A and B are shown apart, each in its own frame.
Chain A
Amino acid sequence: MSEHHDGHDSGGHAVSHKMLVITCIALLFLTGVTVWASKLDFNELQFPELNIIIAIGIAVVKVSIVGLIFMHLRWDRQFTAFVFVASFVLVGLFISFAMMDTKEYQPEVIQANSEQVQQMIDALPAAPKSEH
């Protein structure tokens, strides 16, 4: 085995302390930025979702930094990064399909709840209260 290599004895990678501190400071700074950005009011731009986009964007950047440096992905095999990214992609896929669907049918659900339903309720005989 390669004892002479710094930290490569069992395949790992040793990241210098200096780099870790810099990374951490950068992450804390980004946390500050995201707090600050969340206070911005984009209503004037008719684009209040921009807050969400900025916040998620910064979170993605932060997570990438944590992954690349703290979790050594930068020095790791590509497959490892692939596994990690794939899990996020799947979550994204899940979110986008679920959102696409719910955005489509939700208006109908609420519509169906309006006066029609109220009339149906009114027309009901004294419905039995579920017992417990």
Chain B
Amino acid sequence: MSQLEIQPDSHGTDHGHDHDHPDHLGHHWENSKQQFEAGKLGMWLFLATEVLLFGGLFVAYSVWRGNHPEIFQYGSQFLDTFWGALNTGVLLVSSMTMAMAVTFAARGNRKGIVICLVLTLMGAAGFMVIKYIEYSHKFHEGFLPGFSFYEEPSASHLWLPLEQEHDQDVAHSTLETEAHNTAFAHETTARDEMPLPPPTAEPSVVPAAGTGPEGLTTNELALETAEFAVFLPPSVIGNLENQGPELDFAEHHEPGEEPHLPHPLQDPDRPPNAQKFFTIYFLMTGLHGIHVIIGGFVILWLLLLTLRGRFSRGYYTPVDLGGLYWHIVDVIWIFLFPLFYLI
């Protein structure tokens, strides 16, 4: 059969390279361009799946916010716009350096790629550091998703301890690393005691009684049908009325922090289910953070490949595709930032 001879021939005429089937070219491709375009289309389809993956969370956000705008208005006060805006800036700049790396790659400037990738990597790391600062702050304050929200925070500067507080010093010694772990411990406790209603839910009903927009407490909302009611012993319901909060509110706060916000658990104006805000906040920023970390590893991998001299003007597909991934991380954040920090 003559096909076997024809094949390399047709390749040779196709593009005038001396190496007609370079290493990076899969055996089923005609040429680099075809492979590159396929890779690119594949990446874009993957990005579309990423958008839809986050899309689900955006739907959850919209529905919750649509139903309970007061929770979101209340909760977003506890986020620091400064850190959010700074993180937006960090991501935007790192997106630019990533795009620059692609341009350098297209021009075959290896040194340029390396510098830009290192800068991008620093952006990724910087973003995560800022995220860490924000998250650990939230943990200390007890702004946790779900039921953990109703745990007394171990170390909050917003928290004004009650007289039965076991250890005032612990409560006041703010922002200590060890307190971080306590926050996690609280979360685990809450989880273990999950079946409804958890004992830890009691603090939640205290301040909420009769104050929410609809005058509903957390627990009442659940009682749509009698079936739900069986989860809730009458003793708990009886308590709802009687336990009014008798607290002084935090007058003093750490310098440089948002002023005069009472801690949610001590705030009579806290809307019911205020934990919802932090639930969706941690879900969305957490998923985004995971993507940033993955993106960081992708960039690191690209950096190693670049240093090994894998890329040339003729082949830099991974840089281009990795860049696209990094940009989608940016795109998601561009939506997350106003949704949580601003409005």
**Are A83 and B44 within 8 A (Cβ)?**
yes
Given A90-B52, A99-B62; A14-B44 close (CB under 8 Å): no
Minimum CB–CB distance from B318 to chain A (whole Å) comes to: 11
Count A/B pairs, Cβ under 8 Å: 218
Q: How far is the CB of B107 from chain A (nearest CB, A)?
A: 6
Q: Mark B301-343, 1 if CB is under 8 A from A, else 0.
A: 0000000000001111100100110010011001101110011
| CB–CB B32/A1 < 8 A | yes
Q: Which residues of A contact B4 (CB under 8 A)?
A: none
Contact B67 A102 (CB under 8 A): yes
Q: How far is the CA of A76 from the CA of B226 in the complex (A)?
A: 58
- Which residues of chain B come closer than 8 Å to A35, judged between CB atoms? 81, 85, 342
Query: Are B63 and A98 in contact, with the CB atoms below 8 A?
Result: yes
- Encoded as 1 (CB less than 8 Å from any A CB) or 0, chain B from 259 to 299 comes to 00000000000000000000000000000000000000000
Residue of B nearest to A57 (CB): B338
Query: A12: which of B47, B95, B102 is its contact (CB, 8 Å)?
Result: B102
A1–B327 touching, CB < 8 Å = no
The yes or no answer to B133 lying at the interface (CB within 8 A) is no
Rounded to whole angstroms, the CA-CA distance of A66 and B92 in the bound complex is 9
Tell me the smallest distance from the CB of B200 to a CB of chain A, in Å. Answer: 13
The interface bits of chain A over 1-14 (1 if a CB of B lies within 8 angstroms of the residue's CB, else 0) are 10100111111111
- Name the contact of A38 in the complex, choosing from B33, B49, B214, B342 (C-beta under 8 A): B342
Most buried by A among B17, B35, B230: B230
| Cβ distance B56 to chain A, nearest Cβ, rounded Å | 8
**B63 contacts A132, CB within 8 Å?**
no
Residues of B within 8 A of A79 (CB): 41
Please tell me which one of the listed residues A59, A67, A83, A122 contacts residue B338 in the complex, with CB atoms under 8 A apart: A59
**B-side binding surface: helix, strand, loop or mixed?**
helix
B237 at the interface (CB under 8 A from A): yes
Let me know if B251 is at the binding interface, CB within 8 A: no
B124-132, B145-153, B188-196: which lies at the interface: B188-196
**Which of chain A's residues has its CB closest to B213's CB?**
A110
A114 contacts which chain B residues (CB < 8 A)?
A: 216
| Chain B residue contacts of A55, Cβ below 8 A | 338-339, 342-343
Contacts of B92 in A (CB 8 A): 24, 27-28, 31
Query: Would you give the shortest CB distance from A81 to chain B, in whole angstroms?
Result: 9
> Is B1 in the interface zone, CB < 8 Å from A?
no
- Most interface-central of A51, A56, A121 (chain B CB within 10 A): A121
Interface set, chain B 56-109, CB cutoff 8 A to A: 56, 58-59, 62-63, 66-67, 81, 85, 88-89, 92-93, 95-96, 98-100, 102-103, 106-107
A34 near B338 with CB under 8 A, answer yes
Q: For A121, what are the chain B residues with a Cβ–Cβ distance below 8 Å?
A: 223, 226, 229, 232, 234, 237
Task: Tell me if B233 and A126 are in contact (CB < 8 A).
Answer: yes
B250 sits at the interface (CB 8 A)? no
Q: Bits for A87-111, please: 1 = Cβ < 8 Å to B, else 0.
A: 1101100110011001100100110
Contact assessment for B334 and A11 in the assembled complex, using a CB-CB cutoff below 8 Å: no
Q: Is the CB of B334 within 8 A of A10?
A: no
Is B252 interfacial (CB-CB < 8 Å)? no
Query: Nearest CB to that of B342 among chain A residues?
Result: A38
Whether the Cβ atoms of A87 and B55 lie closer than 8 Å is yes
User: Quick check: A24 and B62 within 8 Å, CB to CB?
Assistant: no
A residues within 8 A CB of B81?
A: 35, 38
Asked if A95 meets B62 with Cβ closer than 8 Å, knowing A10-B314, A10-B315, A56-B338, the reply is yes
Assembled-state Cα–Cα distance A90/B49 (Å): 11
Q: Is the CB of A106 within 8 A of B67?
A: yes
Write the residues of chain B forming the contact surface with A, with a CB cutoff of 8 angstroms. Answer: 15-17, 31-33, 35-37, 40-41, 44-45, 47-49, 51-52, 55-56, 58-59, 62-63, 66-67, 81, 85, 88-89, 92-93, 95-96, 98-100, 102-103, 106-107, 193-196, 214, 216, 220-221, 223-224, 226, 229-234, 237, 313-317, 320, 323-324, 327, 330-331, 334-335, 337-339, 342-343
